[in-house]
Chains A and B, each alone.
Chain A
Amino acid sequence: MSSHSAEPLLEVEEIHTYYGKSHILDGVSLEVGRGEVVGLLGRNGVGKSTTLKAVAGLVHPSRGAVRFEGRPITRLPAHRVARLGIGYVPEDRRIFRLLTVAENLRTGLDRHGVTAARKKDLLEKVYAYFPVLAERRSQAGGTLSGGEQQMLAIARAMMLEPKIILLDEPTEGLMPRMVSQIREIIDVLHRESVAVLLVEQNVPLTLEASQRIYILEKGVVRHHAPAAELQVNDAVIHQYLGV
């Protein structure tokens, strides 16, 4: 998909990050096209989450570049990255526990240039996708179940009207029913032309939901292929993920 458009939405070029002395990312490069769902697979601790954080501006790479719509964002503070249209849904969800569901959503809505009517539309849209959030809108975020918190985290990121959402292990620890709901949400995002960079341990779900896959090992991309190809030929998956 990305190969058709002139310029990818998101380009990550040879980024390196360190945590103390240990090299976490050792030159990761990847691209996400407009409206494309891209999966990022790999074992624990290979740098998948750090890659997402680097895109979100929460970790600043010591070398390499991140570009969004052709514009360098490598050194931009995280709040400015978010306002360019990059939504971040972290692994541990990080709901504002003492804020109500509605207030959690408002943190992404109260931006310059968003009219009251537009805010209402956006809220109604997510409440339609996630009726449970509408029911619990006056409840504190911390009182929601794990699955509901995951939905809130995604809905909250959608308030930014993002062009891309970075999803870090959205199905981790969820019941099967919730997992299929997350799967549906990814499809909804895809239909709405929101790109997704998906980090997951759930390989079948990632292969199904994504168009392209990157496989990360020890801080570098080892393999890169269309998801359909990996679904047919699972030797690579065995080799790098041992599943």
Chain B
Amino acid sequence: MEIAFDQLLIQTINGIVTGMILALVASGLTLIFGIMDVVNFAHGELFMLGAYVGVIVLAATGDFWIALIAASLIIALLGAAIYLMTLRPLLGRDPLTTILATFGVSLVLQNYALWQFGPVARKIQEPVTGHFTLFYLEYPWYRLVIALLSAAIIGGLWLFLKFGTYGIWIRATTQDRVMAQAMGIPVPWVLTVVFAIGAGMAGASGVLFGPLVGVNHAMGLDWILKAFIVVVVGGMGNLAGSIAASIFISLLEAYASLWVSPAQAIIVSFVVLILTLLFRPTGLFVPTPK
């Protein structure tokens, strides 16, 4: 089958847009894993609840941007509460206990959402409604807005980690929790804040992505699965690696869907995951360990 150049370009843009949202979800996940070795199975539900908070605040205020900020803050606080109540007592135990705990939290949150909001999907009205012509397509501006906003949030996180005092505390704690304490860094507080930041980023991505799919209690599942794939492919705990892997995998899926249906294209992600685990288990986008 002949693939036209315009189709290729459209899929490149689609891949980058999806990749940026995925990167936003995955960076929270990888930040949390990197600093406390906890795989947060409830991350997808934080994404989903962020979208619901967005629905509610949007209905109350009519302003998408207020909804976005409110959802990030509320989900960040929720994340801190989840961390303090379920994870903090388990830190340093067998990783299985934290996996089970976050899995439990994820079931509770998902069923809470089903009970509270019902099974019918809610809609978030996108703040930017226009389209522009991309070859034969009317391409929504909002998709580009999502990509840019995700990039801006990730960029902000990067600057904060690179130059901020608390960012340096977070990096030091990620590298050596014990030594960080011995340098006077309040490690228990740093861990809580990192969990809150990761949760807040998931909440923000839920609101950003809401207008594209509709909000329902199970919307976190697809994302969390993909986020796990990119976190592993990018190298567990490696922020830059996860971002690169998000875009890489989303592009691959976008190109694959030129030939097969999008539902089948997801197979590509799993193939990459399996190949990574077989041949480069430390991650694709990290330097070879010495």
Residues of A within 8 A of B (CB): 56-58, 77-80, 82-83, 88, 90, 94, 96-99, 103, 106-108, 110-111, 156-157, 159-160
Decide: B178 and A94 in contact? CB cutoff 8 A: yes
Q: Please tell me if B180 contacts chain A, counting CB pairs below 8 Å.
A: yes
Decide: A90 and B183 in contact? CB cutoff 8 A: no
Decide: B182 and A99 in contact? CB cutoff 8 A: no
Q: Shortest Cβ distance from A200 into chain B, in angstroms?
A: 19
Decide: B176 and A96 in contact? CB cutoff 8 A: yes
Decide: B168 and A106 in contact? CB cutoff 8 A: yes
> Considering only CB atoms, which chain A residue lies closest to B186 in the complex?
A79
Chain B contact-residue range equals 10 to 19
| Distance in angstroms between the alpha carbons of A53 and B103 in the assembled complex | 36
| Distance in angstroms between the alpha carbons of A156 and B185 in the assembled complex | 13
> Considering only CB atoms, which chain A residue lies closest to B166 in the complex?
A110
Q: Shortest Cβ distance from B174 into chain A, in angstroms?
A: 9
The listed residue (B165, B180, B181) touching A106 by CB distance below 8 A is B165
Question: What number of A-B contacts does a CB cutoff of 8 Å give?
Answer: 67
Chain B at the A interface: SS class:
helix
The listed residue (B172, B176, B183) touching A160 by CB distance below 8 A is B183
Decide: A107 and B172 in contact? CB cutoff 8 A: yes
The listed residue (A78, A97, A110) touching B182 by CB distance below 8 A is A78
> Considering only CB atoms, which chain A residue lies closest to B179 in the complex?
A94
Known: A77-B188, A79-B187. A99 touches B172 (CB 8 A): yes
| Distance in angstroms between the alpha carbons of A58 and B188 in the assembled complex | 14
Decide: A78 and B181 in contact? CB cutoff 8 A: yes
Q: Shortest Cβ distance from B114 into chain A, in angstroms?
A: 41
Decide: A110 and B171 in contact? CB cutoff 8 A: no
| Per-position binary interface string of chain B over residues 204-243, scored 1 when its CB falls under 8 Å from any chain A CB and 0 otherwise | 0000000000000000000000000000000000000000
| Distance in angstroms between the alpha carbons of A116 and B183 in the assembled complex | 19
Decide: B182 and A96 in contact? CB cutoff 8 A: no
- Closest 8 A/B residue pairs (Cβ): A82-B184, A78-B181, A94-B179, A88-B182, A110-B165, A83-B184, A107-B183, A79-B181
